[in-house]
Amino acid sequence: MKTHRRAAGFTLVELMVTILIGAILVTVAVPGFLQQIRKSRRTDAKTAILDLASREERLFSTTNTFSADAPTMGYAAFGQPIGSGYYKLDVVAPAAANPPTFTITATAISSQVKDTLCAKFIVDQTGKQSSQDSSGVDSSTQCLN
């Protein structure tokens, strides 16, 4: 007497359905995940410009002037990547300005440029914070919350 045993395992159809479901999940999840990563990197930029603004204020309290010189404020160089390398800092502090002013800008670089909503973070000597999208339009209400 011969008995036929059915082989254990998955059929090709079951395997293809599983792959299809996995592909759909990845297609939906990955863009949202990447957006959350970009959003979390904004914290680096906001922290850096506020730290630099406080250094400018400390310098002003002793010298009565602001500086656009990075080593004066304890930074290696401006225009270089900061934090994890997704933003660069730039400082404008006109020497002839009366009263003295400064503007600090953190601009997205590297893969962070895909964050078109919050491409730049800006703070000035009054402490006013703002942000701009990649086309230069104010996006403070969406990015500074």
* Alpha carbon of residue 119 to chain centroid: 8
pLDDT tens per residue across span 30-63: 988 988 888 888 988 898 899 999 999 999 999 8
Of 138, 104, 91, 107, nearest to 42 by C-alpha is: 107
3-state SS class at 83 = coil
* CATH match for 42-143 among 2.40.50, 3.30.1300, 2.20.130, 2.40.360: 3.30.1300
Position 54, amino acid: S
Task: Give tens-digit pLDDT for 74-106.
Answer: 777 777 788 788 999 899 988 887 889 999 999
What amino acid is encoded at 88 in this protein? K
